[in-house]
Amino acid sequence: MIKKYSKTKLKKFRETIVKRMEEISQDMDDIKESIMDKGNPKAGLSQDSVFSLHMADAGSDSFEKEKSFMFMSRESDYYKNLSHALERIDQEDFGVCKICDGLIPEERLLEVLNATKCVDCKTNDKLNLK
């Protein structure tokens, strides 16, 4: 028989995940706003512009924009993983290791909200990849 977390614990996890998803959503909005502000086509015409007409500055600006897109992608992936965690809560199998069917410790789940493996299985996975 597979152990599962109680409905009370699952509700606590749900609240924590939803709160984190709201934070991520706000972070993604901030990143989008930052990208859009830097993407102003008239920006190069003003003296206080983020984009400069100098090639080195333009390279730095391009790097910053690329970094923002990378952060946006990372946050988006994490948001999707948290959505999957909510689905596992609905199915009442949140916190069950997908490899050994053991219960993932609550401390781990609170640190890694989208964890699908217990520490031992995750460690073995990493060791097998080397």
Q: What would the two tokens of residue 63 be? A: 């790097």
| pLDDT on residue 53 | 66
Answer yes or no: are the C-beta atoms of 67 and 20 closer than 8 Å: no
Question: Cα-flanking dihedrals φ and ψ of residue 29, to 5°?
Answer: -65, -40
Distances (CA, A) of 30 to 49, 66, 71: 19, 15, 11
Q: Which of 29, 48, 51 is nearest to 40 (CA)?
A: 51
- Which conformational region is residue 101 in: left (phi greater than 0), alpha (psi within -120 to 50 degrees), or beta? left
The DSSP bridge partners found for residue 96 are 103
Answer yes or no: are the C-beta atoms of 108 and 119 closer than 8 Å: yes
Q: Which of 6, 24, 30 is nearest to 77 (CA)?
A: 24
Burial class (CB in 10 A: 0-12, 13-18, 19+), 93: middle
Per-residue pLDDT of the chain (130 residues; tens, 9 = 90+): 678 999 999 999 999 999 999 999 999 999 888 888 754 444 444 444 555 566 777 677 778 888 889 999 999 999 999 999 999 999 999 999 999 999 999 999 999 999 999 999 999 887 777 6
User: Where are the chain's structural domains?
Assistant: 7-94
| pLDDT on residue 60 | 76
Instruction: Tell me the whole-structure pTM to 2 decimals.
Output: 0.76
- Quickly tell me which residue has 């609905």 as its tokens: 90
